[in-house]
Structures are given as structure tokens and as C-alpha cells.
Structure 1
Amino acid sequence: MSALLTLQGVHTHVGAYHILHGVDLTVPVGEVTMLLGRNGAGKTSTLRTLMGLWTASRGTVTFKGEDITHLPTPDIAARGIAYVPETMGIFGELSVAENLLLAARSARRMADLDAARLDWLFSLFPALKTFWHHPAGKLSGGQKQMVAIARALVEPRELLVIDEPSKGLAPAIVANLISALRELKATRTTVLLVEQNFRVAAELGDSVAVMDDGRVVHRGAMAELIEDGSLQQRLLGLALGAHQ
């Protein structure tokens, strides 16, 4: 598969702190790439750097063959990259509908939203339709996460970047989220997904990169990591079989 996004030797400094130490990462077109690692390994920092929220001090970020390393965040987003941060970034006082409208670059009014695409989003996340006119801030954590992902998908995007969508959610809600993301995966949407929940990673990932101490220390097929308990233990400090 050809690469949609590539990070080569990316270093990031935040103030006096050297956060990323030469990250090499490839995201193939049409696949779900999992970015795994222990807490503090540099996963979120990698996403913030590729989105331009933090500036790489060295190395390059390439998207569809274009160097986007030093572009402002709005310009990166305009190239077709949607970002769902760990905090979700929901506008709590706005309705679900208004949250989605804000993310739709081609729409100024609700009537301008693509009806067919909304129906598709409602099929992925039925709660969106139920709470369409409700303040987003009053939704449950799982429902807010669905709003955040749907907002990123309200218009076609080349790449969807999601940071820990299952964090803090009840197991039943995580199961629903996995189901929705599996349907999204079936559309061949390219996704870069950070997760701490290995079950989610195992269900969704095609390829995997594991980070430690600000660099990628393992790259390969997700299926291989799933089958190798000793590799899971060495890279992540866990074995999938012990958590099923």
C-alpha cells in the first residue's frame, strides 16, 4: 500500500523539554494504523506535531507527497486531515447539529449539510439523531465521543486522526464504538488511531507502530502483535491473553 502520511526523523521540543526523539512513522492509504505505547511514550505528542499544534524542531511530515511540517494547523486541516483530540473538543453549549455544522467547511446553514452523509453518520452513531438538537455538553461521555468523531467525518476527509477514543468509557459503550469504527474501516477510510485499550487495537488495526521514549520502537502488522504475547509484554507491558 502507498503511504498517505509519513513522518521521518521528527523531533519536537516543548520549552526546555525534548519530547520526540526522531519519530519514523508511515500511515498506508486505506488502512487503520494503530499507534500504541505506554503512558508518556509520545503518542499524543506525535499527533499534535503532525497537526501543527506543536512545531517539529527537526525532521519532516509529508502528506500525499507534500511537506506539511511547518504549515499552520488550519492549512493542514484544509488538506483533508481531521483530528479528534483526546479531550474531544466538544462545544458544550452548542447542539449536536451545531457542532457538526461548525466542522463542515462547505456549509453555512443546516440545510447545506449533505443529507446522504448525515444519514450515513446516523447509521454509525444512532444517538446523534436522537440528540440532534440537544446541547452537546449534556451528553454522556460515549455520546460526546461519537459527536467528536462524527464532526471529523461530516465531510469527506483524506485522513482521520483519533486520540484514545475509548478512554474512560464503560465496556458496553466501547463495544458500540468498536462496532461503529469497524463499519468506518469497511469504507477504506485511512485512520491513525492512538489507543491504550489493546482490545480496541486488536479489533481495528491493520498495521501498528509502538512508541517508547519519544520514538517508534516497533512497526509491523497488527495481527503479528496480537499473536505474540511475549512481544506484547516486552513492548507494552501486557499480554492480550491476560486481559480477555
Structure 2
Amino acid sequence: MSAPSQLPTPLLSLRGVHTHIGAYHILHGVDLQVPEGQVTMLLGRNGAGKTTTLRTIMGLWRASQGQLLFNGQSIEKVSTPEIAQRDIAYVPENMGIFADLTVAENLLLAARRARHLKALDAQRLEWLFGLFPALKKFWLYPAGKLSGGQKQMLAIARAMIEPRRLLLIDEPSKGLAPAMIRSMITALQALKATRTTVLLVEQNFMVAKALGDHVAVMDDGRVVHAGAMAELVADEALQQRLLGLSLAAHQ
């Protein structure tokens, strides 16, 4: 494994984490640090264990060995609802929106401090409308009638409706048109400017380059490289070795 660069204080740490799903051993001793107030990209080929890592952090799949520390406290035996109560939000690859509910109702459900729409933080809601104008336009539409890109924006907005200590986001650009990807990058850059800690799984390397402060690359259920995103961007040979392609090919 490549030697990691010196990182700021981690908000989230995984130490020797193993995860089994049924008879399958998916994570094989994952070591990962997510520095506070920055964006960490989790990269790797399909099947490397990236989604399993996010789901293990959220307690959706249990670590069979190892330690997960959030803000200095062990969470590997904590229930998923309690993990969410610790200000961790998760945007899964399948987005997790409620198709039969309106855009407004989806956001209200994600706002733990509001019991009705008028109780939503108006200033934060306007900020989200500025980032995702379609949410305001389709405020009372069933979420299931939105386009794929609009659903993804809603999924991200749900995680942003209240300030969070940590956001886990799984492949937000997957299947999106280039224009929608650019809009998503702009929104996530605005989130980054608030110093929210983000762990972001991504296959689009231009997204990774635009957003990442740090990077961890996974292969076969392990983290095989960790360091500054800028260092990976500048080293095409390292990109080829770790990922099998170069960022230059995606310019």
C-alpha cells in the first residue's frame, strides 16, 4: 500500500475493518481516515468494496472485525438509526427517495428538526433552491415523476437539508448527462465551502478531481493507496497502476 500523506484530524476512522455478507468476505481489513471539514474520494474498480464500505459505516452491514470510530467514539456496534442521529447522512447509489411523496415531503422527512413544512429552515431551503432550482419548480410534484438527474439532486438535497457532521455519498454522477454532472459538481462545491466532511464514492474522475481533497483507492476489499487527490491527479503512472486508466483520458 502506498504511504498516506499527513492528514488533518480524522472525523471518521476505519481500522482493520472486515465485512462478510453471507458466505462472502467482502472487506479484508480496511484502513481509512476521513479528515474533518474536507472531501475524501473513495475510488476503485467495480467490485472493489466501496459501496460495502459506506454501508458498513452506516451499520446497514455489520463489520465482522475491526473498529469504526466517529468523532473518537466506536460505532461498529451502533444501530443505523442511532448512527444517523449522530449527524451522519447517507445518499445511496439507488438514491433512496420516496417516489409517491412530493419533493417537499421528501425533504421534510429528512429534516429531523422539523415536523411540518413551515418549520423548515427557510434560509437553508432558499440556499438549496439556489443549488437545485428544479426542486423549487417541482416542489409539489411526486418525486417519482422527476427525471433521473432531478431525483439524484433531490437525494443529495435531502442529505443537505440540515447541517451534518458527515455525508456519505455513493456515485452521485452515475447515469447523469454532462450538464447535470456539472450542476451537481457546483452544488457539491458549495457544500464543500461550508466545511462539511464528505466521503464520496465516484467513478467519474473529473468529479473526483473537481471535489476531492484526499483520496483512498480500494482494490479487492482493501485500501491500497491513500493520499492527496492532487498527487493522484498529477501522477498518470499511479493512476494506471491503481485504476487502470488515466485522468488525462477524461479531460
- The answer to whether the superposition gives a TM-score over 0.5 is yes
Aligned to 2:171: 164
Amino acid at match of 1:205: G
CA distance in 1, matches of 2:221, 2:78: 22
CA distance in 2, matches of 1:17, 1:48: 15
Superposed CA offset, 1:164-202 (max 9, x none): 000000111111111111111111111000000011000
Matched, 1:52 2:59: yes
Scaled by the length of structure 1, the TM-score of the pair is: 0.99
CA distance in 1, matches of 2:47, 2:229: 21
Aligned residues: 244
Question: Which runs of no fewer than 5 residues in structure 2 stay unpaired?
Answer: 1-7
Alignment of 1:80-99 (within 5 A): 80-99=87-106
CA distance in 2, matches of 1:177, 1:132: 19
2:24 to 13, 17, 23: 17
Q: Which runs of 4+ in 1 moved over 2 A?
A: none
CA distance in 1, matches of 2:206, 2:250: 8
Classify the secondary structure of the residue corresponding to 1:191: strand
Aligned to 1:123: 130
CA distance in 2, matches of 1:227, 1:178: 20
Amino acid at match of 1:146: M
1:178 to 174, 185, 192: 185
CA RMSD between the two structures: 0.6
Aligned to 1:189: 196
Shift of 1:104: 1.1
Amino acid at match of 2:232: L
Scaled by the length of structure 2, the TM-score of the pair is: 0.96
CA distance in 2, matches of 1:228, 1:142: 32
Question: Which runs of no fewer than 5 residues in structure 1 stay unpaired?
Answer: none
Aligned to 2:143: 136
2:239 to 214, 232, 243: 232
Matched, 1:61 2:37: no
Matched, 1:2 2:22: no
Superposed CA offset, 1:23-58 (max 9, x none): 000000110000000000000000000000000000
Alignment of 1:100-111 (within 5 A): 100-111=107-118
Shift of 1:155: 1.2
Amino acid at match of 1:105: R
Alignment of 1:139-150 (within 5 A): 139-150=146-157
Classify the secondary structure of the residue corresponding to 2:185: helix
Shift of 1:116: 0.8
Amino acid at match of 2:36: V
Aligned to 2:44: 37
Shift of 1:243: 2.1
Amino acid at match of 1:54: W
Aligned to 1:153: 160
CA distance in 2, matches of 1:12, 1:242: 34
